[in-house]
Amino acid sequence: MDYRRTEIMKIVDLLKTTGIELNGAVNTKEEAIDRMVELMASGGNIADIEAYRAGVYQREEEGTTGIGEGIAIPHAKTDAVKSPGLAAMVLKDGVDFASLDAEPVHLIFLIAAPDTEDNVHLEVLSRLSMLLMDDSFRDDLMKAETAKEFLSVIDKAEQAKFPEEQEEKKAEEAPAERGYQILAVTACPTGIAHTYMAAESLENKAKEMGYTIKVETNGSGGDKNVLTADEIAACDCIIIAADKDVKMARFDGKPVLMTKVANGISKAEQLITEAVGGKVPVYHSRGGEEERMADDGEGLGRKIYKSLMNGVSHMLPFVIGGGILIALSFLVDGANAGGADFGKGSPMALFFNTVGNTAFGMMFPVLAGYIAMAIGDRPALMPGIVGGLLAKAGTSVTLPEEAWVSSGFFGALIAGFVAGYLMVLIKKLLGRLPKSLEGTKPVLLFPFLGILLMGVIMIFAVNPPIGAFNTWLNDMLAGMGESSKILLGAVLGGMMSIDFGGPFNKAAYVFGTAAIASGQIDIMAAVMIGGMTPPIAIALATTFFRNRFTKSEKQTTITNYIMGLSFITEGAIPFAAADPLRIIPPCVLGSAVAGALSMAFGCGSRAPHGGIFVIGIIENAPMFFLALAAGAVVSMAGIVLLKKPLPADKR
Q: Say whether 133 sits in a helix, a strand or coil.
A: coil
Report the first-to-last Cα separation within the chain, whole angstroms.
32
Is 237 annotated as catalytic? no
CB 271 within 8 A of CB 263: yes
Host H or E run for residue 161: helix 147-161
Q: What's the CA gap between 200 and 183, in Å, rounded? A: 13
How many CB atoms lie under 10 A from the CB of residue 285?
14
Q: Are 606 and 617 in contact (CB under 8 A)?
A: yes
Tell me the CB-side half-sphere exposure of residue 271, using CA atoms within 13 A. Answer: 32
d(CA 41, CA 63): 24
Q: In 453-484, which positions are buried (b, 16+ CB within 10 angstroms) versus exposed (e)?
A: bbbebbbeebbbebbeebeeebeebeebeeee
In terms of DSSP bridges, do strands 15-21 and 85-95 run parallel, antiparallel, or are they unpaired?
Answer: parallel
Measured in degrees and rounded to the nearest 5, phi and psi for residue 466 equal -70, -35
* Residue partners of 602: CB distance under 8 A and separation at least 6: 522, 619, 620, 623
Q: Please give the C-alpha separations between residue 148 and each of 35, 155, 340, 447, in angstroms, as whole numbers.
A: 20, 10, 74, 71
Q: How far apart are CA 626 and CA 618, in angstroms?
A: 13
Range list of H helices, 63-146: 120-132, 135-143
| 3-class secondary-structure state, position 411 | helix
CA angle 617, 619, 623 (to 5 degrees): 120
**75 has catalytic annotation:** yes
Amino acid at position 49, single letter? I
Q: How far apart are CA 345 and CA 339, in angstroms?
A: 9
Q: How far apart are CA 435 and CA 440, in angstroms?
A: 10
- Tell me which of 106, 188, 237, 609 is the catalytic residue: 188
Are 111 and 124 spatial neighbours (Cβ–Cβ below 8 Å)?
yes
Q: Strand, helix or coil at 190? A: coil
Q: What contacts 148, CB < 8 A, 6 or more positions away?
A: 17
Question: Alpha-carbon distance 412 to 368, whole Å?
Answer: 5
Query: Could you give the angle at which helices 503-517 and 521-544 cross, rounded to 10 degrees?
Result: 140
How far, CA to CA in Å, does 620 sit from each of 493, 520, 603, 616, 626? 18, 15, 5, 10, 10
Nearest Cα residue to 539 out of 641, 643, 636:
636
Dist. CA 474–CA 532, nearest whole Å: 26
In this structure, the chain runs to a length of 651
The C-alpha atoms of residue 475 and residue 235 are separated, in whole angstroms, by 58
Catalytic positions, written as ranges? 75, 188
